[in-house]
Amino acid sequence: MKLARIALLLPCFAAAAPALGSEDDAFTHALTLVQIFVHAAAQSSDPQANLRFLDDVLAGRNSEANRAMTGLLEEATADLSPEHRDKFASIARDLAALARRDALLRPSVPDAASAEAALQARKDLNAMGLRYFDEAQFLDAVRRNDELAAALFVRGRGVSLAAKGPDGRTALDIARANRNERLAALLSSSTP
């Protein structure tokens, strides 16, 4: 994930900081940035939510990340001439723009492993006598608490997870009504 790449780059800035400024301040700023990214990645299994968060950070819409990055850059460039400081800031802005563009382009290209997993899930559903695109069969699997079949439908990506049955309930509504917490968690983390 792109968050991991960015988080790995942050200690590089901190490593250079002792020679350029206060070690404790620079390290504090770097740790703050790493904590922001790791916390965001841990809070959501939804790749789209992670991309929105990353876009907010890279676009400057996260005030905590802005303060930490500003402090880190000030520490790292404290001993530089104004000319070099401007070049450093320009490079940092360009890197952020590249990361943002890359993060926004990635979702449109399906991951080969993800496509392979979806294909395998479809094959498994077919072997069970189920059609990967049949929303009624998906809702029936949830209704009977068949976690395996429901997980295969989710992984197969052939049904709308927001589909409603004749009673007007979604799969998530059914799982919650059945008090199936594991299935409800799977569905809620997979629903866009």
pLDDT of residue 157: 93
Residues in contact with 163: Cβ distance below 8 Å, sequence separation at least 6, in sequence order: 135, 138, 139, 170, 171
pLDDT of residue 183: 93
- By CB atoms closer than 10 A (0-12, 13-18, 19+), residue 19 is exposed
From first to last of the 192 residues of the chain, give the pLDDT tens digit. Answer: 455 555 545 555 555 544 544 568 888 888 988 898 888 777 777 777 777 787 788 778 888 988 988 888 888 888 889 899 889 888 888 887 787 777 666 554 456 678 899 999 999 999 999 999 999 999 999 999 999 999 999 999 999 999 999 999 999 999 999 999 999 999 988 876
CATH of domain 112-190: 1.25.40
Q: Name the segment(s) of the chain with CATH classification 1.25.40.
A: 112-190
Alpha carbon distances (Å) from 136 to 55, 81, 141, 150: 36, 67, 9, 12
pLDDT of residue 21: 47
Which is nearest to 98 in space by CA: 2, 4, 11? 2
